[in-house]
Structure 1
Amino acid sequence: MSEPKDTSKDETSAPESAGVGAEPTGGAHSSAQESGAALEEQRTRGGGDALSGDRPAAGITETRTRSGMFGVRDTGDTSGYGGLRLPGHSPAPAERPFGGWFDEFADELGAALDERSIPRDAVEQVTIDRDEMTLYVVPDRLNAVARTLRDDPGLRFEFCSTVSGVDYSAPDGQPVDRPVHVVYHLLSMTYRRRIRLEVGLDLENLHVDSVVDVFPTADWHERETWDMFGIVFDGHPALTRILMPDDWEGYPQRKSYPLGGIPVEYKGAEIPPPDERRAYS
């Protein structure tokens, strides 16, 4: 594909009509909970193309409101978690125009996917929130999309700075659709742009393509994410523990992992669960 003439930081050289400089990021379309007046219609009608801004939320659905963090409820808990309430995670699909360089980027990515015969539905949703763009990618297309973002001359996202996980499971055990997410932060040093790739996974199938062959920096990041969340990165050259001992059972940053009750072997003691600890209020 052709290389852009200007980058997102070239405010002096790019005309205002090009959308560079005058509006460097998403502007009015940035919202975690809504994306235009037709949000509900957009979520339900199906079909379309996420990069064109007309695809619904697909399988990235709203989670339940979270309260009693980490299972601490109706106790003398003094940490603050017991009374904390957070709204459900609800990434809304963005609509065109995305604003700033986001539209140019989406067009370039769509064309690059077409050139490589990668279906556009590999990107199932585009979300713009707080002037940042997130692409929700189908798990078995992640490697292909990442390689396209790296190699296309109009994209050039050469660097993966972080791979991390998040567990949106409900504290009370109620089912949540695709609660475990993997997040990739990509940087284009050529065009000085940042985007985020995100993949939603079911607890019964925590598998996603490794991107180590595309971004070697993801090697230890993916190992840490597997170590903490149990996400299996298919194709990783050495997916072993990196923080916990090799024989450790469980994944400490999963919501189902117990806070207490873990034997302290060198003292022969056991830390009690939060609801069995002594209260001070």
Structure 2
Amino acid sequence: MESRVQGPRMDALYEVVWVPIVDPNIEYTDAMDIQFEDMKKTMPWYLVYHPSNIDRVLKKFIGDRWHFRRKPIVVVLDPQGRELNPNAIHMMWVWGSTAFPFTTAREEALWRMETWRLELLVSDMDPTIFNWARDGKYIFLYGGDDIEWIRKFTSNARAMATVARIPLEMTYVGKSKNTENVKSAIATINVEKLSYCWQDTTLIWFFWTRIESMLFSKIQVEQTNDEDPIMPQIKKLLSYDADGSWALLCKGSEILTTGHGFTMLRTVADFDLWKEHAPTMGFDFSFKEYHDKLHVPAADHFEPN
């Protein structure tokens, strides 16, 4: 979410007020006060001067009215103080200031214009990936923290690209949790030059926060029916992240297929078994057809030769 200081000029049309609410059942300690003061120094928006200024009755009202518990929410009010959106934080994570005026109607309209594409996933957080997409390259986004899987997947994918003579790039996007494991994986990827990856774990956190926000945004505007092509893909990506390793293959902006670590590793490792179909059926179709016919085993992961 952009700050008012650094965001696009559209942010001049709105103001943000931070209401720092502390759980009334928790004792407010000196350590918490130091943390609050540190946060306040970095806050570019307006804010209530201190948590003690917020009355218990107001805390209860905010909890009852807008279902605030622990996670941040952004309630949108018009110039007359009328409520426009009970929680716009998810659409802000996904679209930033483009989502102005942050109404539910705007959220619904943005989703109607969206398609399942690379730009939706990575936003404008990485110009390198955008340049690859613009050049029409094949791109693997992959995640997990199993370094042995990462080694096998990247080496087999690179070998496949060489034989198939396709321009392929790979980007490691980590996991939504287990930050220390992700840091270790990034270090290994860098030392062994396995692929491109985000060096700053804040980018990885932002990537997964946006994916989760897409899910919550869809639920909030009730765009979860069977005809929605995006929601199943969001759920699939979050499921793979929770389960372990995964990869997603794009050609330019187009997402060809997303798969569990087992099926994706086996597809790139088994290229010799399906490459004969690629010249006539095309690499894209052949890869997707072979991959989508594979089944994830109940427990064991594939171990290629």
TM-score range, shorter chain: under 0.3
| TM-score with structure 1 setting the length | 0.28
Which structure's CA Rg is the greater one?
2
More helix by share: 2
TM-score with structure 2 setting the length: 0.26
Q: Which has the higher strand share?
A: 1
